[in-house]
Amino acid sequence: MGFSSNLQSKAAHEALLCRQDAELRLLDTMRRCLANKVKCDREYAVAITSVALQGQKLERAEDLVGSLVAQAWKNMLEELDNTARLIKHNADSLESKSLDKLNSLYAEKRRARKQYQEEHNRIVAQFTHFTEDVARKKTEYQKYLELYKLMRSRFEEHYIKSGRGGRKLDDVRDKYQKACRKLHLTHNEYVLLLCEAAEYERDFRTVLLPGLLDHQEAVQEAFIISWRTVLEEVAQYTSLCSEKFRDAQSRVETSLEAIKPNQEYKDFTEKNKTAPASPVLFTFDNSLVEDTSGKLLPSQLTVDNLTIEWLRAKLVQLESSVKEVQEKQASHSSHVDLANNKNTHVDMLTRVDHGRRELEELRCREREMQHQVEVIKSALSELGCEEVPPGCDLSIDSSFVDNHTNMGTPNTEQQQGGERSSSTFTLKRQHQQRLVEILRKPFRRLSAPSSPILPPRSAGEGREEEKNTSQTTDDEKVCGGGADDDDYGDRDDAAEITLIPITPDSHSTSNSSSIDGGYTVMSLSAHRPLVDEEWFHGVLPREEVVRLLTHEGDFLVRETTRNDECQTVLSVCWGGHKHFIVQTTAEGHFRFEGPAFPTIQELILHQYQSGLPVTGRSGAVLRKPILRERWELNNDDVVLLDKIGRGNFGDVYKAHLKTGKKEVAVKTCRMTLPDEHKKKFLQEGRILKQYDHPNIVKLIGICVQKQPIMIVMELVPGGSLLTFLRNHAGSLTQKQLLGMCRDAAAGMRYLESKNCIHRDLAARNCLVGYENIVKISDFGMSREEEEYIVSDGMKQIPIKWTAPEALNFGKYTSLCDVWSYGVLAWEIFSHGGTPYSGLSNSKAREKIDTGYRMPAPEGTPDEMYRLMLRCWEYEPENRPHFDQIFLVVDTLYGAHR
């Protein structure tokens, strides 16, 4: 049918997944329908048997001996009883054979869909990994190329100025040789990576992706064969022998004969047909080698004394890997015999095709590595028996020497057109020989300085010949030798570059400043701590910072911790988001690339007033300070009292605010958690801050000025609703229970109007306040979307509270919360009972899929239980929305005495 040639695009892949989901839903509908038919057929058989027994009970039967009418009646009743037994037999067979096969088919199809999606994601992720590696290696190449150019220009400059050897010239030469080595090694790594990426890209288009799609096509067709077999059995067991049923059966069989596996996906394939994936060309960027004096050539390995040992080691490594792959291929080939395998069973087909695809992947991997082996061998063979050339030889020609030795020659000599004197020629010759001798000396590694920033030199030392030469990529914004707070780069590289801070001539100490254009006026106090500045945001996580900085020039200051060291970071929105670590000089002052200041406030004010870029490379200019939001509280304003609980991210405390002595509840986040978890922790605060409803727990603020990060909320004195129900089971009236259901419905109606999906609605996540008012809490899993698709697995999902469509397909809407509300109402009327008691999560899920629903707890009003059942409708569209739920519960509450 052409899966491999027509369905390679991302859109076709998504369409195939949607088709598989639709088939799963059809299978599920068929299962439930057949289960109901078995039940009805058995009840019908029992009714017919009862009728037959009733007809056989005749008074004074002996008076009818010899009667043909009585004998005919008796025969009719016997046939009626036989018919009942036949119907019951067919129902039993339908359940034990066809329905079981349908259940197995459903489970196999779900597993096959998951395997296909995981396999597709894996090979696409590997292709993406190669693409990112190529881009990253190219960026690294550009970095070392810049370093190489800089070191070469320095070497040439010192050579011309000094005219002879010396320690300083030796140091410059060593740095240049080291930069040259790194450039050449990176060049070779880039060439090999391009070889590997190109091989994988071709295999991805021609072998891996088509192979996966061919296998999926075979699996889909095998499912159709099994599906047709099950339907044929169903038709057989539901067949009756009357003329009318034979006619109907004939029509069913005719329609079943029309099911052709090789035609099933014809219309689908034509509808979603796309062109095969276009090849992605991995080519060498020739601009990278334009300034390398011809030493480095595009797409060619460089063999010299800098790279020869690395190339030989790499060759040995690759040849060893090729041998291992070949051994694995031989092992796989002995276990896979596709040609003689005619079994169409789904499990067998899956195992065979999996082995075949593993074999194909091994062959692809062998070709990728073999290509690299050939490239390296070819490069080494070209060297032959010749001496390995020096990698750092400048190969200075006479024009280079002429240009630099004539720099001091008066213009009159050129105008006179005289020939060069013999002394000038001798001087040039000496320069050239000296240069060659210097470059031929062995490499010497310099030890790294103790600090990447040196103290300013005294006035007597004169002007420095070297400037700040820290080289970084765009993603590593190094400020005066420091690194971005998330990306630290190569420390060896930084150690080899001398970094000299620029001493400021003067700096401002005014208390306030402003920039033309109406931007915010910044205040400054030499005695005020940094934590009191409104533009200082404490330990606010990086993700939250990015959310606050929205316009070019927006900036704020925060703190971060790396390797147990606290660092102050300036975050700026400028062509994206850039983060600069504030550097500390030997005198204890603070700086970026420019002047140093006694305090961080003065440093930030200088950058803001002057309009100068934070670093020359980034070009980032400070335009508008972003002040703390009103709900960002100071940690010192919160006094923790008693520990009252424990959450996923840390402990929960009872506390009070210094301003007003108001009692509050405080959730804390453990300091050792990674930034990703801190982001999830603050997500609850970000959601709650915009909500204001009596049945939603109220946010007071967050504390991010220092560790630990805290979320401050109103203190709800009754604690967890689940614990409250269990502790007061004997004293709660039916009206009070209805009131709790009404409060929860009111809160959820408000959330639904805000397009907020809670995803974890349960009694344990509700709180009880004064007068038994219920408040929705714990928004850690919530999402502010009309529809939310889970794509990272189903970990930590409350199975017994979660709707079937969310469990089966990861699709969440507000109607999933409606299902959970039904379970919450059941918890309330069972006084904190455990849903589906005695059943495991998987067993409860199976019973729900077959139509089972929990019985009403004792004392539940009939109208309330009917509402629970409506909340538990299998199809989401059949469930009520929360405004309807609130109306029903409010009416019941008002009518209850």
Q: Which residues are annotated as a binding site for ATP?
A: 644-652, 667
601 three-state secondary structure: helix
CB 651 within 8 A of CB 702: no
Of residues 760, 792, 849, 862, which has the active-site annotation?
A: 760
Structure tokens at 849: 């899929």
Q: How many angstroms separate the CA atoms of 300 and 194, rounded?
A: 11
Name the nearest CA neighbour of 642 among 658, 661, 664: 664
Q: How many angstroms separate the CA atoms of 32 and 49, rounded?
A: 26
760 is catalytic: yes
CB 765 within 8 A of CB 775: no
Name the nearest CA neighbour of 119 among 369, 364, 362, 357: 357
Q: How many angstroms separate the CA atoms of 497 and 484, rounded?
A: 18
User: In sequence order, which residues have a C-beta less than 8 Å from that of residue 813 and are 6 or more positions away?
Assistant: 757, 786, 787, 788, 876
Helix and strand numbers, DSSP H then E, in the chain = 25, 18
Q: How many angstroms separate the CA atoms of 799 and 404, rounded?
A: 79
Query: How do beta strands 811-813 and 787-789 pair?
Result: antiparallel
Q: How many angstroms separate the CA atoms of 409 and 403, rounded?
A: 10
33 three-state secondary structure: helix
**DSSP H/E element including 882:** helix 882-895
> What's at 562, amino acid-wise?
R
Kindly report the CA angle at 247 between 244 and 250, in degrees rounded to 5?
150
Please list the helix, strand and coil fractions of the chain in percent, rounded to the nearest 5, in that order. Answer: 55, 10, 35
The DSSP annotation for 698-714 comes to: PEEEEE-SSSSPEEEEE
CB 604 within 8 A of CB 536: no
CB 504 within 8 A of CB 459: no
647 three-state secondary structure: coil
Q: How buried is residue 444: exposed, middle or buried, by Cβ count under 10 Å (0-12/13-18/19+)?
A: exposed
Q: How many angstroms separate the CA atoms of 152 and 180, rounded?
A: 9
Q: How many angstroms separate the CA atoms of 888 and 864, rounded?
A: 8
Residues labelled catalytic:
760
